[in-house]
Chain A
Amino acid sequence: MQERLSFYKKRESAVHRLNPLSKLTLALGIVFVSFLSPYYWTPHLLILFAVIPLSLLGKVLREYINAMLRLILPTAGFLFIMQALFQPLEGVELFRFGFLHPTQESVLFAFANATRIVVMVSSFTIFLLTTHPNELMTDLTRRGLPGQFAYVIISTLQIIPQMQAKAQTIIAAQRSRGLDTESTFFKRAGSLIPLVGPLVFGSLVEVEERAIAIEARGFTSTRVKTSLNSIPDTNKDKLIRWSLIVIIIVTLASRIWLS
Chain B
Amino acid sequence: MAIVNLQNVTYRYPLTDESVLKNINLQVDEGEFLAVIGPNGSGKSTLCYTLAGFVPHFFKGEISGSVEVAGLESSASTLDEWVMNVGLAFQNPFNQISGAKFTVFEEIAFGLENIGVPREEMKPRVEDAMKLTGITDLADRSPYSLSGGQQQRVALTSILVMQPKVLVLDEPTSQLDPIGTREVFGVIRTLAEKGMTVILAEHKVEWIANFADRVIALHEGQIILDGLPGEVLTSDILLEKGFGISRYTSVARKARAIGLWKNSNLPVTLDEAVDGFKR
Contacts and interface: CB of A to CB of B under 8 A. Distances in A.
Interface stretch (A23-31, A178-186, A206-214): A206-214
Interface stretch (B66-74, B98-106, B235-243, B251-259): B98-106
B79 interface: yes
A1 B102 contact: no
A209 B119 contact: no
A212 to B, nearest CB: 6
B100 A216 contact: no
Given A154-B99, A215-B54, A225-B116, 8 more contacts: A4-B102, A158-B144, A206-B92, A212-B90, A216-B87, A218-B111, A218-B115, A226-B117
9 contacts: A1-B144, A162-B144, A209-B90, A209-B95, A210-B99, A212-B90, A216-B88, A218-B84, A230-B119
B54 A212 contact: yes
A2 interface: yes
A155 B100 contact: yes
Interface of A: 1-2, 4, 6, 132-134, 150-151, 154-155, 158-159, 161-162, 206, 209-230
A223 B122 CA distance: 15
Contact of A1 (B115, B142, B159): B142
Contact of A213 (B80, B95, B109, B162): B95
Contact of A216 (B52, B97, B102, B144): B52
Nearest to A228: B109
Interface string B130-167: 00000000000010110000000001001100100000
B96 interface: yes
Nearest to B155: A213
Contacts, number: 119
Contacts of A213: 90, 95-98, 155
Given A212-B88, A228-B109, A217 B98 contact: yes
Interface string B39-58: 00000000001001010001
Given A212-B54, A228-B106, A155 B80 contact: no
Closest 6 CB pairs of A and B: A155-B99, A217-B111, A218-B114, A223-B116, A209-B95, A218-B115
B110 interface: yes
A161 B84 CA distance: 32
Contacts of A216: 52, 54, 83, 87-89, 111, 159
Contacts of B21: none
Contacts of B177: none
A215 B109 contact: no
Contacts of B142: 1, 4
B113 interface: yes
B58 A212 contact: yes
A221 B88 contact: no
A217 B158 contact: yes
Contacts of B109: 228
Contacts of B84: 218
A228 to B, nearest CB: 4
B211 interface: no
Given A134-B106, A162-B144, A215-B58, A226 B116 contact: yes
Nearest to B110: A217
B37 interface: no
A220 B90 CA distance: 19
Given A1-B145, A221-B114, A226-B112, A210 B95 contact: yes
Contact of A134 (B92, B102, B112): B102
B13 interface: no
B119 A226 contact: yes
Contacts of A222: 80
A217 B83 contact: yes
Nearest to B102: A134
Contacts of B185: none
Most buried by B among A210, A211, A212, A218: A218
A159 to B, nearest CB: 5
Most buried by B among A6, A161, A217, A224: A217
A219 B159 CA distance: 12
A215 B159 CA distance: 11
A130 to B, nearest CB: 15
Contacts of B159: 216-217
A53 B117 CA distance: 40
Contacts of A215: 54, 58, 79, 83
A225 B114 contact: yes
Nearest to A218: B114
B107 to A, nearest CB: 10
Interface string B13-45: 000000000000000000000000000000000
Contacts of B123: 228
Contacts of B80: 218, 220-223
Contact of A224 (B97, B98, B116): B116
A217 B89 CA distance: 10
A151 B89 CA distance: 21
